[in-house]
Chain A
Amino acid sequence: MFDISVIYDAGVVGLRMVMPLFAIIIVYQCYAAMRRRRRPEKPLVSLYNPRSGGMIPVVFWENSIGRSKSSDIVINDLSVSRNHCVLLRRSAGWFVSDVGSVTGTYVNGVPIHGRAQVLIDDIITIGSTEYRLKRGDDFNSPLRSSRFFSKVSDKPAIQAWKLMFMITLFHLFMAVEAMFWNDGTNVYSPLILFGVMAVVEWGFFSVSYFALRRVNFELEALGLFLTGIGVMMLIRQVERSAYVQLIAMGIGIALYCVIVKFIEDPDRVQKIRIPMMIISCAMLASTIVLGKATNGAANWVYIGSISFQPSEFVKTIFIFVGASPLDKLQTKRNLIEFTIYSAVCVALLALMSDFGTALIFFVTFLLVVFMRSGDIKTVLIPIGAVIAAFFSMRFLAEKISFIGDRFNYVLNRFKAYRHVWDYADVSAGYQQVRVLTYIASGGLFGVGIGNGYFKQYFASESDLVFALVAEEMGVIVAIVLALSVALLMLYARAITTRARSTFYSISACCAAGLLVVQLSLNVFGATDILPLTGVTFPFISAGGSSVISCWGLLAFIKAADERTYSIKR
């Protein structure tokens, strides 16, 4: 007798084994496509020195000019200040902006204040040197290109719709797997969810491709891939949450589109920095008043039946406020405003006992100030201050029970760090040992969507989702997904100098940095490699606010890509 169950067994196992390979191919294709369709490495304009006959290529959208070795255009002339002026490109053309030089900057002999437009063949006088603005084509020696953009094979990247097709297929496989494991009820619910999700994904793709006429979709595709996995993981856990997650995905995509459009003009953003700061502080403060404590951290606000975490949205604003264009960066070196704002945010979060998010904000603050100032002191001093604050709180915790209660949980967790097996049945190590056990139980290929046991634990779909994915889809998929988020940083860094303004470079790097920090706390906190838990896995963890804010952050990386605004299909 032929046993049908052998085929069934082989089919399910085969599917599970294909998934990791498929995930690797998708992530690879997303990143491979990011390198393609780049403009060739050649100057945008050039500066001609009539006296010496020399020609300087201008390769960036924003170029610092000065005597300092680290300037984009170095002029060895004692009459030039270390940071003299900034030559920048906007949609209206080229501008030069004096950033507080001693001898001043002149366009066609007229001294400038603030930004002044320069046209081709205009004379820019910097110190005692005169330059004539020429077209980029006038410069004809080759330029050295960065590794990310050089040696790109001529083979065109996978077409966006093909990439989308692969991602949809991956989600379909997940739905099919989820159909196998059920208690006989709602057999087809994963398929229904998949159908709705496919409509959202392809709808977004169509808007981007046909309405906005964008050629590139790989960053969005990666976001959809990850968010879709998060939605699908929920179908055999709490079906309602899966739909909530799907709605959040829709809102996140909308927010993404709005932010990309809104920050098209980097100067416009500067005008609303102060209102944004006030709004975000007010949001956090209102959380303290209205917020309800859920599992230790009082970071939830309920309006009717809708609940959300304002701290997640503030993350997006935080990046806005931190970044600025190059000439503003050089004239306004004062970081006090941003420091006070950050201190207020972190303090409000600490008051909510949301220490995970507070730490993310703090590290992002360090990234922003370092990106702006380049001074390692600006990083070390706040770190010292926080360590001092931690120990003084620890001292206070013993004296005042109000603070003590909030701190004891954190301190207990520190005590169990790297000894979780000794605390397997108390709160300090309970989650971590279960995470490790179920990750190991899943093996390389997982036990199948909905077939695991870890989903029964509290927070398995949010803070501990790494273990949920590892148990049900295998540890390979879990690690590939984590790396795909971490690699966003490499991408953000690779496009740093190609961005249309330092506003974009700084915001993209900081947004990617924030995601990496959050990812590290999530994955390493759950697996006891770091002593902290309580933050979400970007894009995948259940939680509407979290998903929406991740899409908001992704928008900054998209905006830093010069192809976003300049190339149309």
Chain B
Amino acid sequence: MKRTLRRSTLILIFTIAFIIGIGFFTVELVIEAKDWVDQPYNAHISGNGGLEQAGKILDRNGNRLAETIDGERVYNDDEGVRKALLHTVGDNSLNISTAVQSKYRSNLTGYSLIWGLNMPQSMRTSRDITLTVDSETCKTAYNMLQSGFEEPKRGACVVYNYKTGEVICSVSTPGYDPEDPPKITEDNESIYDGVYLDNVLSSTYTPGSIFKIVTAAAAVENIPDLYERTWYCEGVEEIGGHEVHCYDSTAHGDVNIYEAMEHSCNIVFAKLAVELGSEKMNAMAEKMGVNMSFNVDDVKTAKGHYNAPKNDVNVLGWTGVGQGSGEYEDKVNPMQMAIICASVANGGTAVNPSYIKSGTGDILKDIGIKHNKTYNFLSSDTARQVGEIMPEYSIGGLTVRAKTGTAEVNEDKNPNSWFVGYSADSDCPLAFACVVEDSGMGSSYARPVIEAVLSTAAERLRGKM
């Protein structure tokens, strides 16, 4: 009998293992229950479900972006604002997974670990979420992308405060009115292709000349006589056995580093990339977070891509001007470019952006003592020098350092137009990135969008501050 008792210890171990397993599950439940609940198939919150009691969503000035009135979810009164903030706020469905109404639906509907999604009616309190975006600025960006050119453009525009991380403007096109979501059928599929994707966070594009910011940073750090040098540009030059050409093969003549950046001379930057070599170029891209994904309010941004070849000199040159090809093709994400510009603006240190001002149950954030994560990309000296090399613009009373980009894409489409940079004004410290797909020169598409957006933003921010 004693032996039987001793042997039964094996079975006791199973029971103990079970109890440990239950403990493990309980810990998992407490930590992750919130993420488990926010699922599109969850019948407690899907469809219009759950939004009948959801709290408000407000912009930085307290304007209503979404609110439930008598069980109906209503959005901003202005159709332009509704469409502009579609990807940030979301609609009744959970289709736009990165939107606030999807990510924080359980917050809005009053989820708690204790009550699950079934909090008694009498105990429910509305949980409002306040965002950092300015609805007027977003509307300006949306209108520019939608009707500023010969036809509605696909693209993305993001502006954020590089001191605090507050996102002021974030717009992705194409969009739709959340009060009248389209039925997507075979006929209109192409118009709404990728409509649920927030291009600001979830898309990558070929950077083109805006990548010269990274190449310039590598040159500043590794070439001591950079400022004494001049290059001669004929518009086309053979580098590494194949051609490298400037946009439209325009010859720029004798240029120093400032002029090369101003004219966006591909020859000079391709040569710089070749001189620096793939190792240093890859190291700088890595250091500035090109191959990295940023965590913006629990959404992982699409990863950029930079990988310069060791053996192919011509492709190495092309990667230095933001093109590359095949497995060496450069890719960046709009939010990522804004973050990189923020680091240049802010002495080499970028503050991680956030859309949330308060209301997500993060108490530290609500009382304003939680600061956003920062990334240290560059030394303050390098950041200052790169900033000085970037051309200066004056937009809406702001002193802006920025770079245009005209990224050639392989298909039968027009280039993607880019404009990225920052304002140096201490009362309006904004980093921005804008991309317009299938358009043309950076200066004729993305730049006008940013000019309009920054003017509005400066007016709104300075008026309030």
Q: How far is the CA of A409 from the CA of B215 in the complex (A)?
A: 50
Cβ of A374 within 8 Å of any chain B Cβ, yes or no, is: yes
Answer whether A493 and B8 are a contact pair too, CB < 8 Å, given A440-B116, A441-B42. yes
Instruction: Write the chain B residue with the least CB distance to A375.
Output: B7
Q: CB within 8 Å of A: which of B1-45?
A: 1-8, 10-12, 14-15, 17-19, 21-22, 24-26, 28-29, 32-34, 36-37, 39, 41-44
Q: What is the distance, in angstroms, from B369's C-beta to the closest C-beta of chain A?
A: 29
Contact B7 A371, beta carbon cutoff 8 Å = yes
The answer to the question of B120 belonging to the interface, with a C-beta cut-off of 8 Å to chain A, is yes
- Contact assessment for A443 and B42 in the assembled complex, using a CB-CB cutoff below 8 Å: no
For A369-383 the 0/1 string (1 means CB < 8 A from B) is 011001000010000
Residues 66-102 of B, flagged 1 when their CB comes within 8 A of A and 0 if not, give: 0000000000000000000000000000000000000
A441 to chain B, nearest CB (A): 5
B122 interface contact, C-beta 8 A = yes
Which B residues, 378 to 402, have Cβ-Cβ distances below 8 Å to chain A? none
Question: Chain A residues near B410 (CB, 8 Å)?
Answer: none
Question: Which of A10, A471, A496 meets B1, CB within 8 Å?
Answer: A496
Q: Are A512 and B4 in contact (CB under 8 A)?
A: no
Stretch at the interface among A58-66, A107-115, A167-175: A58-66
> Is B11 a contact of A9 with CB atoms below 8 Å?
no
Q: Please encode chain B, from 42 to 59, with 1 for each CB lying within 8 Å of some chain A CB and 0 for all others.
A: 111000000000000000
Q: Is A524 part of the binding interface, using a Cβ–Cβ cutoff of 8 Å?
A: yes
With A440-B33, A441-B117 as known contacts, state yes or no: A424 contacts B39, CB within 8 Å: yes
Residue of B nearest to A366 (CB): B10
The CA-CA distance from A442 to B111 in the complex, in Å, is 10
Tell me which residues across on chain A come within 8 A of B115, comparing CB atoms. Answer: 443-445
Of B22, B33, B41, the residue contacting A482 (CB under 8 A) is B22
Which of A185-193, A393-401, A514-522, A536-544 touches B?
A514-522
The count of chain B contact residues (Cβ–Cβ below 8 Å) is 43
Are B3 and A64 in contact, with the CB atoms below 8 A? yes
Minimum CB–CB distance for A73 against chain B, Å: 10
The one of B12, B22, B43, B121 in contact with A489, judged by C-beta atoms closer than 8 angstroms, is B12
A477 to B17, CA, bound (A): 20
Contact in complex: A517, B14 (CB < 8 Å): yes
The answer, among B15, B18, B116, B121, for a CB contact under 8 Å with A442, is B116
State the CA gap A299–B210 with chains docked (Å): 64
Whether A523 contacts B5 by the Cβ 8 Å rule is: no
Q: Which of the listed residues A367, A440, A479, A493 has the most CB atoms from chain B within 10 Å of its own CB?
A: A440
Contact A60 B36 (CB under 8 A): no
Question: Would you call A483 and B22 a contact (CB within 8 A)?
Answer: yes
Q: Once the chains are docked, how many angstroms separate the CA of A424 from the CA of B94?
A: 15
Chain B residues, Cβ within 8 Å of A471: 116
- B114 in contact (CB, < 8 A): yes
**Beta-carbon contact of B7 and A370 below 8 Å:** yes
| Residues B117 and A447 in contact, CB atoms below 8 Å apart | yes
A434 to B37, CA, bound (A): 9
Task: Select B22's contact among A374, A443, A451, A523, beta carbons within 8 Å.
Answer: A523
Option from B5, B11, B17 in Cβ contact (under 8 Å) with A520? B17
Chain A 204-245 near chain B by CB (<8 Å), digits 1 or 0: 000000000000000000000000000000000000000000
Residue of A nearest to B19 (CB): A486
Interchain CB contact under 8 A, B120 and A509: no
Partner of A443, one of B5, B10, B118: B118
Set of chain A residues within 8 Å of B15, measured between Cβ atoms = 486-487, 489-490, 516
Contact assessment for B8 and A505 in the assembled complex, using a CB-CB cutoff below 8 Å: yes
Closest chain A CB from B45 CB (angstroms): 8
Q: Complex: how many Å from CA A115 to CA B34? A: 66
Interface string of A132-150 (1 = CB under 8 A from B): 0000000000000000000
Known: A371-B8, A437-B41, A529-B24. A444 touches B113 (CB 8 A): yes
Instruction: Quote the shortest CB–CB distance from A126 to chain B (angstroms).
Output: 18
Interface string of A5-21 (1 = CB under 8 A from B): 11001100100000000
Q: Across the interface, do B25 and A527 meet the contact criterion of CB distance under 8 Å?
A: yes
A550 adjacent to chain B (CB < 8 Å): no
Establish whether residues B36 and A326, one from each chain, have CB atoms under 8 Å apart when the complex forms.
no
Pick the contact of A483 from B19, B37, B114 — CB < 8 Å?
A: B19
Query: Does B222 count as interface, using CB distance less than 8 angstroms?
Result: no
Q: Is the CB of B117 within 8 A of A443?
A: yes
Q: Are A72 and B1 in contact (CB under 8 A)?
A: yes
Residues on B with C-beta less than 8 A from A445 are 114-116, 118
Chain B interface residues toward A at CB < 8 A: 1-8, 10-12, 14-15, 17-19, 21-22, 24-26, 28-29, 32-34, 36-37, 39, 41-44, 112-118, 120-122
10 nearest CB pairs, A to B: A443-B116, A453-B43, A440-B33, A513-B11, A440-B36, A60-B1, A447-B118, A489-B15, A443-B115, A436-B36
> 10 interchain pairs (CB within 8 A)?
A9-B120, A13-B120, A60-B1, A326-B1, A374-B7, A434-B41, A444-B116, A513-B11, A516-B11, A523-B22
